[in-house]
Amino acid sequence: MSGRGSNLQALLDAAADPAFPAEIALVISNISGAYALERAAKAGVPTEIIPHKQYASRKEFDAAVDRALRAAGVEIVCLAGFMRLLTTGFVEGWNGRMLNIHPSLLPSFKGLHTHERALEAGVKLHGCTVHLVTPELDDGPIVVQAAVPVLAGDDADALAARVLEQEHRAYPLALRLLVEGKVAVDGARATVDAQGAGSLISPLP
């Protein structure tokens, strides 16, 4: 975690339900002042700060993160607002067990400034994606996506707020599906055993 941690809060809230199949074992941030750390502390979840600037290379930093995760008995890693590129070795060590959430409907708008770019492109649907992490940026098998309409008069902030609401629903769902063994990966694709059918159209007729 590097930021305010609203997606962390969604995961903490989900995990507070005894029926949820996972618990949050540790929250790691590379920034000491990240508000996500306060959220974790309030929920009684252990935290650890691993400042990346104290390490000579990305490989050494990632090794420190890996040690902390394994020492805490972590089985699945959830990235959220963690603004660091991870080394191939780290990613491969958690292959099939590391999730990331991205504020666009991947594979569209990888990288930063997704809402501005969506508005510039004139898309009618925008949203978020929870995916399994691979060494490539914002890539990997897609587990859950949620879409919102792009409305007339939207600016980046308004669109981002609407997408964020869906992020808070999508991330706990994706974690639940992965923990329950309902995600099967075949190459670059993930097949999800879940209920749901229908379609989205924007604008409405």
d(CA 9, CA 17): 13
115 is catalytic: no
Strand ranges inside 26-86, DSSP E? 27-29, 47-49, 77-79
Annotated active-site residue in 52, 102, 115, 168: 102
d(CA 179, CA 201): 31
Q: Are 139 and 197 in contact (CB under 8 A)?
A: no
Report the amino acid identity of residue 195. Q
Q: What are phi and psi of 130, to 5 degrees?
A: -105, 125
Catalytic residues: 102
